[in-house]
Amino acid sequence: MESAIFTHALRENLRIKRVLPWLVLGATLVFGFALKWSVFQNDADKGQQYASVSSIFVFHLLALISAILTSTIVNQEIENKTIVYLLTRPVPRWKLLVFRYLACSLVVALLSIVNTLFATAGVYGGLSGNPMLLKDIAALTIGAFAYGAFFMLIGLMVNRSMIVCLLFTFGWESAVPNMPGQMSYLSINSYLQAIAEHPSQGSNKGMGLLTSTLGDNTLSASTGYIAMFIFVATLVVISSLWFTHFEYLPREDAE
Amino acid sequence: MISAVNVSRWYGQVIGVNDINCEIGPGITALLGMNGAGKTTLIRLITGQLRPTTGDLRVFGQEPFANPEVYRKMGYCPEIDNFYEHYNGFEFVNYLARLEGMNAQRAKARTAEVIEMVGMTERAGRKIAGYSKGMRQRIKLAQAMLHDPEIILLDEPLNGLDPVGRREFMDLLGALANSGKAIIVSSHILFEVEQMTRSLLLLHRGRLLATGDLGVIRELIDKHPHQIRIETDTPREAAAMLANLPNIVSMRFERSGDSIRLEVREPNAFYDAVMAAVLEQGLQIRGISSPDNNLESVFKYLVEA
């Protein structure tokens, strides 16, 4: 039963119609900028260049992909009205939700990993020689699950959740990490940057602003792992309880 | 199997169903009501998609909302016409079979069985996006029968089916009911329901207006004068003959000039008398119809009663 839920969700999210736009965007945006990044940071070494491209494009795209894909875990079924087939089966609702979430987050992680490979290929001219690659993959995978858990909860609580999720992605996640004091602790991106351990942008404030590392982020990688684990676990539990407790009907009937 | 005690459901300030009391057991039970009467709300309450605002609704003695124990014994064929359109019929039903807890092998075998039961074997490999309305209804019924449930709820299942499909569908429902299952069928067409069952719940504006045998309701309806329209090429001669028949309360010519509208008591006796007049006295008629034989009239009579 669980494998069927997971496989179905994976199949839905891996449909070429869904994945292709992100791959094209990654290939043009991430790879394109990575290839020519030396134009913007001609004094930086390849590690610095990669870190900039990764922080600006790959990590922000991660949040965007997650906002688009994960916030629809339940909403898409509501919009398509197929939710009735799922909610009248002998499957605990939390299982339906969690296994769909796992599949969706996995796809988000895979797309983001492809993007980081694009960035590596653009900066280093191949897939080898990037000392930050493994840590970035770890951070992106954790980020996919963290953003996924957050957007899933928003999707369950808010009717038209996409707007909220996009505002969070472009507003909150871009601005808050750059704020002074401990405000950056309220951003998922700050924890992911701590896990990725990208080199500092130094005195380059413009680049610090773009990479969302301008704030006083003193988080360690281990703190990042622990915080994200607690964050994901808490949100998944809350989402499961929410989904089990509240009514979900096909869209036109819900209004 | 299903019991409702003072069940009401409100959507904000709008009423869905109001103070429903009923017991539903094996056999076919029709849930009859006009659009907006509360049929779908009641079905959603029974299938645990909604919670009652007040009252107590039990299925097999348990509250149905998000209750897997109830869903193990219940199949649901919704009114909606939506599917995973890129799936083919077999894949769709097979996926839902897996959600019933069947392993991959068992799910495939059972999927093939139910698809054959609804006569879709040859078309199950086609994408659902290309299915006709009738084929979609059959696939919906197939997924509702997957786990051989004790209760099957069908929300407007005959919509979109051609006459042959309807007949097959009704025969299938009859066979399921005869095997001891409870079949609940919602419809807004009295004629359709009469062909399936005598047991019904009549809903009107969220209230349960009548329950029990359709015959009792028919009798109640028949106590009121029935309107009957007779089309004829010779209205004056026909009127003269009809005036001598029993049970006529009133008679008037319609403006079109080629039909007569009658009010009669005991319509069945009147129909017999008309047939006799046609055969024995040469009464000429082109058509006979009853504008009363629809749900609106039924509700009007029942509300007035």
SS3 breakdown of chain A: % helix, strand, coil, rounded to 5? 75, 0, 25
Q: Assess whether B74 and B87 both reside in one domain.
A: yes
- Residue B219 CB-half CA count within 13 A: 6
Spell out where B156-198 has E strands: 182-187
Q: What pLDDT is attached to residue A94?
A: 95
Q: What pLDDT is attached to residue B172?
A: 84
- Give pLDDT tens digits for A190-205: 899 889 887 776 666 6
Q: Say if strands B226-231 and B54-59 run parallel, antiparallel, or are unpaired.
A: unpaired
Q: What pLDDT is attached to residue B292?
A: 62
Query: Are residues B49 and A89, on separate chains, in Cβ contact within 8 Å?
Result: no
Q: Assess whether B280 and B268 both reside in one domain.
A: yes
Which residues of A fall within a CB distance of 8 Å from B51?
247
Cα torsion angle, B55, B59, B64, B69, sign? positive
Give the CA-trace dihedral at B217, B219, B222, B224, to 10 degrees: -80
Among B185, B220, B255, the domain-final residue is B220
Inform me whether the C-beta atom of residue B95 falls under 8 Å from chain A C-beta atoms: yes
Which residues of B fall within a CB distance of 8 Å from A242?
none
Among B160, B185, B220, the domain-final residue is B220
Report the number of distinct structural domains present in chain A.
Answer: 1
Q: Assess whether B144 and B290 both reside in one domain.
A: no
> How many other C-beta atoms are found inside a 10 Å radius of the C-beta of residue B283?
21
d(CA A64, CA A238): 22
Q: Assess whether B195 and B135 both reside in one domain.
A: yes
**CA-angle at A162, arms to A160 and A164, nearest 5°:** 90
Which residues of A fall within a CB distance of 8 Å from B71?
88-91
**Residue B176: domain span:** 2-220
Q: What is the CATH number of the domain that holds B130?
A: 3.40.50.300
Query: Are residues B98 and A93, on separate chains, in Cβ contact within 8 Å?
Result: no
CB pairs under 8 A between A and B: 66
**CA-angle at A59, arms to A57 and A115, nearest 5°:** 65
Q: What pLDDT is attached to residue B293?
A: 58
Q: Which two tokens stand for residue B218?
A: 């028919």
Q: Assess whether B108 and B237 both reside in one domain.
A: no
Confidence class of residue A66 from pLDDT cuts 50, 70 and 90? very high
- Give pLDDT tens digits for B179-217: 888 899 988 777 777 778 878 888 888 888 888 777 777
Q: What is the CATH number of the domain that holds B270?
A: 3.30.70.100
d(CA B162, CA B133): 10
Residues present in chain B in total: 305
Q: Assess whether B143 and B262 both reside in one domain.
A: no
Q: Assess whether B23 and B93 both reside in one domain.
A: yes
Q: What pLDDT is attached to residue A24?
A: 92
Q: Which two tokens stand for residue A200?
A: 């500092």
Of B85, B82, B114, nearest in space to B97 by CA:
B114
Q: What pLDDT is attached to residue A254?
A: 46
pLDDT at A23 over 50: yes
State which residues of chain B have pLDDT below 50.
Answer: none
Question: What ipTM is given for this predicted complex?
Answer: 0.83
Q: Assess whether B183 and B246 both reside in one domain.
A: no
Average pLDDT, chain A: 86
Stretch A70-77: mean pLDDT, rounded? 86
CB A233 within 8 A of CB A98: no
Please report, for residues A147, A206, A210, the alpha-carbon distance to residue A137 in angstroms, rounded to integers and kept in the order given.
15, 25, 20
d(CA A239, CA A157): 9
Inform me whether the C-beta atom of residue B10 falls under 8 Å from chain A C-beta atoms: no
Query: Are residues B71 and A88, on separate chains, in Cβ contact within 8 Å?
Result: yes
Query: Are residues A249 and B50, on separate chains, in Cβ contact within 8 Å?
Result: yes
Q: Which two tokens stand for residue B63?
A: 């509250």
Q: Assess whether B239 and B129 both reside in one domain.
A: no
Consecutive H or E run containing B14 = strand B14-24
Of B53, B42, B35, nearest in space to B3 by CA:
B42
**Residue A99: domain span:** 2-254
List B27's β-bridge partners, or say none. B182
Q: Assess whether B88 and B227 both reside in one domain.
A: no
Query: Are residues B98 and A4, on separate chains, in Cβ contact within 8 Å?
Result: yes
CB B1 within 8 A of CB B182: yes
d(CA A59, CA B273): 85
Among B220, B249, B266, the domain-final residue is B220
Please report, for residues B26, B78, B189, B215, the alpha-carbon distance to residue B199 in angstroms, rounded to integers and kept in the order given.
11, 21, 14, 9
Report the number of distinct structural domains present in chain B.
Answer: 2
Q: What pLDDT is attached to residue A255?
A: 42
String of DSSP letters for B197-251: -SEEEEEETTEEEEEEEHHHHHHHHHTSPEEEEEE-S-HHHHHHHHTTSTTEEEE
Among the partner residues A85, A93, A249, nearest to B96 by beta-carbon distance: A85
Q: What pLDDT is attached to residue B157?
A: 84
Which residues of A fall within a CB distance of 8 Å from B96?
85, 89
d(CA A129, CA A124): 7
Give the CA-trace dihedral at A120, A122, A127, A129, to 10 degrees: -70
CB B211 within 8 A of CB B200: yes
Query: Are residues A90 and B100, on separate chains, in Cβ contact within 8 Å?
Result: yes
pLDDT at A112 over 70: yes
Q: Name the residue in chain A with its Cα closest to that of B140.
A: A85
Query: Are residues B71 and A244, on separate chains, in Cβ contact within 8 Å?
Result: no
Q: Assess whether B259 and B134 both reside in one domain.
A: no
**Strands laid side by side in the B226-231 sheet:** B248-253, B259-264, B226-231, B287-289
Of B171, B149, B141, B184, nearest in space to B28 by CA:
B184
Which residues of A fall within a CB distance of 8 Å from B84?
12, 80, 82
Which phi and psi (to 5°) does residue B255 adopt? Answer: -60, -30
Q: What pLDDT is attached to residue B305?
A: 56
Q: Assess whether B94 and B237 both reside in one domain.
A: no
d(CA A131, CA A147): 25
Q: What pLDDT is attached to residue B304?
A: 61
Query: Are residues A247 and B50, on separate chains, in Cβ contact within 8 Å?
Result: yes
pLDDT at A206 over 60: yes
